Amino acid sequence: MLIVIRSAPDHIIFGRKQMRRHLLSAVAAAAVIAGHGPVWADEAAAQRWIDDEFQPSTLSKDEQMAEMQWFIEAAQPYNGMEINVLSEGIPTHSYESEVLTKAFEEITGIKVNHQILGEGEVVQAVQTQLQTGRNLYDGYVNDSDLIGTHSRLQLAYPLTDMMGGDWAGTTSPTLDLDDFMGIQFTTGPDGKLYQLPDQQFANLYWFRKDWFDDEANKAAFKEKYGYDLGVPVNWSAYEDIADFFTNDVKEVDGTAIYGHMDYGKRAPDLGWRMTDAWLSMAGAGDKGEPNGIPVDEWGIRMEAGTCNPVGASVSRGGAANGPAAVYAIRKWDEWLRNYAPPGAASYDFYQSLPALSQGNVAQQIFWYTAFTADMVKPKSEGNNTVDDEGTPLWRMAPSPHGPYWEEGQKVGYQDVGSWTFLKSTPADRAQAAWLYAQFVTSKTVDVKKSHVGLTFIRDSSVNHESFTERAPKLGGLVEFYRSPDRVAWSPTGINVPDYPKLAQIWWQQIGDVNSGAFTPQEAMDRLAEEMDITMGRMQAADESAGVYGGCGPRLNEPQDASFWLEKPGSPKAKLENEKPQGQTVNYDELVQRWQSQ
């Protein structure tokens, strides 16, 4: 059963258990605040944490201590406060929740309850607080995918304004924003910073290099397809490789193997499986960095120099139901059915990624580097994708692109989980949470945190000598993040006017493809129409009450699809040949190119 909560300008939908959880969280938060006494900060504790935990670092121990002394002094007005923050469940946040909260409390005297939930629940909690004004949490690690939402609704504290104003006294002089690699993704169209990156990971291609290097496999593949077995440059090659390992190689050391891994369970994470640049990888959007201009990876059109989306349907100039988008969904469905292990279609996001450690999959086109930490665990912990010395038998590489893709388009997705503070949070509690956010991203802490979670946010950390030493054990992660190519991977951008409202439409429509209820074309037609209907309601709310600050949608009038498909750029007309010749590249040569740039 569903509970529907209505509030202008739209409504949100929760499952009964999820709603109960949020209400209990709010009650618990109020209870813990009331009874907590003062805890005094301690320089000796700071020194102990520096010596015992926060090594290595880009700072000397003296520099680390100076940074911690600033935190001690800045936190004095909030000493004894107990605050609540929320993030999704990945190793980086587990480290923050279990280790860094203790360090922060001992050093500053501020207790942090760092709760971890699934990403969908985090988005729902943010949406609840935005719409109700009720302070559920004092800070969120909220994906930068919501930058278009936060910059329009103006319900989040704009960090640029706060750092130069009321929060000047709680903004670290060593924060060094220029060192953060994801700042461009957390900056709104008004040029203001709204979110501070806490963790960042890319959606890359993953493959079993040991199987690809096998001479018998190489010879058999070349004989069958006429080109070399290697890292696929395009989706044609990916499909050939998937077919080859599934239907020709079939097994390795007596174990059945498969040429592809993905997931298809009808659940909210199926939606971000697609909005995380899947359409763009196929080539549905336009050229542009960090997102397509004027059509982005969601298929939403917003003309250059404006802040008003004009539509998602092809009839309005969008591309969500165009030929490239339909092709992308069709390939996802075909590959999942034909080349993935049995049961993969019923996996969700959290089940599919760890499944790789079983060692029965040759490649995955859509793999988040946040799970690198799990994939480098030793054999003794059940990971069958490393050798006896713990060296990965796999590698990560750039994502292949579909036939509609053109040079200058983004190639894939980056998740930039970023600290976000809502104006409905009392100012003192928001500033205490801001101190915690800066602490867990500080140079004192960041190299060690990066070694634990492998979700780099600072250039200085990824370039630290300790990662040069560790790089051979990380399957290409360090090489990727040191390469200039990484800029072609970016999060959802500013074309999306209200992420929570639009994201919930995706998984239901895509789920209908996996179930067989609708064809890819039918599902994407329905998806595009629902997006336009929802954006139409946003437009009405913005025009009547300024809900989106004048930057809400202003939908184009529908026209015959041919009007847009015959124009240059996106939406793009259907190709006569959607499977051109497969292309591959040698992995070792690719890494050498990265290192020479």
Report the CATH number that the domain containing residue 342 is assigned in CATH.
Answer: 3.40.190.10
- Residues 231 and 333 grouped into a single domain: yes
The tokens describing 187, both together, are 């900056």
Q: Which of 488, 505, 528 is the last residue of a domain?
A: 488
Residue 129: name the closest of 109, 156, 94 by CA: 156
pLDDT of residue 12 exceeding 50, the answer is no
pLDDT of residue 213 exceeding 50, the answer is yes
- Residues 89 and 206 grouped into a single domain: no
- Residues 230 and 132 grouped into a single domain: no
Widest pairwise Cα distance in the chain: 73
- Residues 525 and 459 grouped into a single domain: no
pLDDT, average across residues 492-520? 93
Do 490 and 290 form a contact (C-beta atoms < 8 A)?
yes
Q: How far apart are CA 297 and CA 143, in angstroms?
A: 16
- Residues 112 and 187 grouped into a single domain: yes
Average pLDDT across the chain, whole number: 91
- Residues 439 and 529 grouped into a single domain: no
Q: How far apart are CA 321 and CA 23, in angstroms?
A: 38
- Residues 220 and 299 grouped into a single domain: yes
Beta bridge partners of 207: 363, 395
- Residues 170 and 311 grouped into a single domain: no
390-421: pLDDT as tens digits: 999 999 999 999 999 999 999 999 999 999 99
Residue 187: name the closest of 500, 493, 502, 413 by CA: 493
Cut 0.95: pTM above it: no
User: Is residue 36, in this structure, part of any structural domain at all?
Assistant: no
Q: What pLDDT does 597 receive?
A: 62
User: Is residue 475, in this structure, part of any structural domain at all?
Assistant: yes
- Residues 360 and 378 grouped into a single domain: yes
Confidence of residue 485 (pLDDT cuts 50, 70, 90): confident
User: Is residue 32, in this structure, part of any structural domain at all?
Assistant: no
- Residues 208 and 166 grouped into a single domain: no
Q: Which of 440, 461, 488 is the last residue of a domain?
A: 488
User: Is residue 545, in this structure, part of any structural domain at all?
Assistant: yes
42-62: pLDDT as tens digits: 899 999 999 999 999 999 999
Q: How far apart are CA 332 and CA 37, in angstroms?
A: 54
Domain housing 279 = 201-414+494-596
Q: Which of 431, 453, 488 is the last residue of a domain?
A: 488
Q: What pLDDT does 574 receive?
A: 97
Cα–Cα–Cα angle for 91, 474, 213, rounded to 5 degrees = 135
Count the domains in the chain.
2
Q: Which residues contact 584 (CB under 8 A, 6 or more apart)?
A: 227, 228, 229, 230, 231, 232, 233, 237
pLDDT of residue 14 exceeding 80, the answer is no
User: Is residue 2, in this structure, part of any structural domain at all?
Assistant: no
In 10 A of CB 88, how many CB atoms? 22
User: Is residue 30, in this structure, part of any structural domain at all?
Assistant: no
Residue ranges of the alpha helices (H) in 276-412? 278-282, 323-339, 349-352, 372-375
User: Is residue 477, in this structure, part of any structural domain at all?
Assistant: yes
Do 161 and 58 form a contact (C-beta atoms < 8 A)?
no
- Residues 505 and 362 grouped into a single domain: yes
Do 488 and 494 form a contact (C-beta atoms < 8 A)?
no
- Residues 530 and 451 grouped into a single domain: no
pLDDT of residue 18 exceeding 50, the answer is no
Q: What pLDDT does 156 receive?
A: 97
pLDDT, average across residues 262-269? 91
Q: What pLDDT does 298 receive?
A: 97
Q: What pLDDT does 83 receive?
A: 98
User: Is residue 4, in this structure, part of any structural domain at all?
Assistant: no
The tokens describing 369, both together, are 């580097």
Residue 574: name the closest of 372, 322, 375, 399 by CA: 322
